[in-house]
Amino acid sequence: MVIKLFYKDKVYSPNQKIGEYTVLKIIGEGRYGICYLVGDVKRQYILKQLKRGMLKKSWAKVGYEEKILMGVKHDCIPGFIKKIEHEKFYGYVLEYKEGITFEELIFAEGRVFGREEIYRIGMQIINILKYLHERNIVHRDIRVPNTLYDGDKVSLIDFGLARWINQKRYTVDVDFSYLGDFLLHLYYTSFEPKDNKKKAWYEELDLRHDEVLFLKRLMGIEKRYKSIHDVERDFIKATL
C-alpha cells in the first residue's frame, strides 16, 4: 500500500459523501483517525477514516484493527464491511451496533445499575472475551467508552489496541484488569458515601466476599487469573 502525504486529511461534514456513503455525523476524532456515522440507501454504518500521517509513522500499529476485525465474526463485535482506499482517503466501514456507551450512561445520564443487571452485563463481556481469547486475540481496551449497551445487549467496540496474544507483551491478564475496572464503574453507580474519608473500593463498596476476591484477582491485587475460563467460573460463583 502506498500512501501519499502531500494531501491534508479532509474532515467530512454531515451530508457529504465518502464513496457510496453519506456522512450523518462525526462520532469522534482521535490520534489515529476520525470516526463517522454514515449511511447508504439501506442502513447505517461506522466509517473509520485513518489519518495518513499516522499511517506512515505507525502502520504496524493501526493495521492490527483492520486485520483482526476481518477475522472475527461475533454478534457483539462490529463486523468488517469493506475497505475504502484512494489517493486522498484511507479507511474502512464497520457494522453499526445499536446502543449508548457506558460512559454516556454513567456520566451523562446518571444511570444506576443494580446488582442483577451488573451480573448480566459482566457475563456478556466475559463471553465476548472467551470468543476473542480462544482465537488468540486480546482487546486491551475494555473501558466504558468502548462498550455499548442497548438496555439488553452489550457490544465491544474500538479494536485499535487489539493484538494477537504472544505470552510476552500481549497477554490475557490486561483484559482481566480492564474488566475489573469496568465492573467497578458499574458498582459505583449505586454507591452513596457515608463520610469524606478516602477508602479503597473493597472497603467502601457493599460487596460479598466472593465478589471482592474475584475483583482483586482480576486486577492483580490477589493472584491473577490465567484463563478466561477460570474468570467465567469464579464470576458465576461470585454472583450466585
Annotated binding-site residue numbers for ATP: 48
Residue 200, C-alpha cell as written in the block: 479503597
Q: Please state, in angstroms and rounded to a whole number, the distance separating the CA atoms of residues 77 and 65.
A: 12
Does residue 141 have an active-site annotation?
yes
Q: Which residue among the candidates 9, 40, 75, 141 is catalytic per the annotation?
A: 141
Instruction: Give the separation between CA 96 and CA 43, rounded to whole angstroms.
Output: 9
Beta-bridge partner residues of 82: 93
CB atoms within 10 A of CB 107: 14
**Three cell numbers, residue 48:** 473509520
Query: Under DSSP, is residue 46 helix (H, G, I), strand (E, B) or coil?
Result: strand
Q: Identify the three-state secondary structure at position 192.
A: coil
The sign of the CA dihedral 104, 107, 111, 114 is positive
**DSSP output for 70-91:** HT---TTSPPEEEEEEETTEEE
DSSP per position, 139-189: -----GGGEEE-SS-EEE---TT-EE--SSSS-THHHHHHHHHHHHHHHGG
Q: Are 10 and 20 in contact (CB under 8 A)?
A: no
- The catalytic residues are 141
